[in-house]
Amino acid sequence: MKFFVDTAEIDAIAELNDLGMADGVTTNPSLIMKSGRDILEVTKEIAEMIDGPVSAEVVATEAEAMIAEGRKLAKIADNIAVKVPLTWDGLKACKALSADGHMVNVTLCFSINQAILAAKAGATFISPFIGRLDDINLDGMDLIADIRQVYDNYGFETEILAASIRSVNHIAESARIGADVITAPPGVIKAMVNHPLTDKGLATFLADWEKTGQKIL
């Protein structure tokens, strides 16, 4: 499974990248706003740091404008994946941009039907939003499982990018089901290391070591 970091914060991306935990990055207008930086500037800096795909989102809502914005974003670097919304116009933009040879991430997916349309339009990635489905009392993981089954049934090459991840359990379940990629905030990825039995075991080891009176350095 590939890990994409869901942020526009350079320092957080660099820390995970140095550990081999950043296979790509996803950004969106909200994350760019939080960073307080120019979208083209910060996207270029991230793309230079990361070898894998860096998703940069269009803000237009009509197909022709989306295509124009997408082509401009794609010029930033070869590893840019243009992110478009899962609307009819977004699918038109996806088709045009993928035909140009650009990677396309179709975002805001909430149903199997939408995922099928995105795959047929040539999407490189489909981004089902797990957390937002959980927010309305639906199980977001069910959608990941359903898309995985349908894509496997028909040999669609579009990669499932599990998004709107709120917890380490979302990551574990996405891996179990077979999502190709997860995108999560840095804090959630780092929280995967935590387990109370690890903390308890380490405390015991350190206490026993203290009793020996020895030092390694």
- Give catalytic residue positions: 83
**How many residues are recorded in the chain?**
217
Contact 10, 17 (CB under 8 A): no
Residues in Cβ contact with 133 at an 8 Å cutoff, skipping those fewer than 6 apart: 110, 139, 140, 143, 164
Residue 192 three-state SS: coil
Closest CA to 77 of 44, 99, 106: 44
Residue 22 three-state SS: coil
In terms of Cβ atoms closer than 10 Å to its own Cβ (0-12, 13-18, 19+), residue 132 is middle
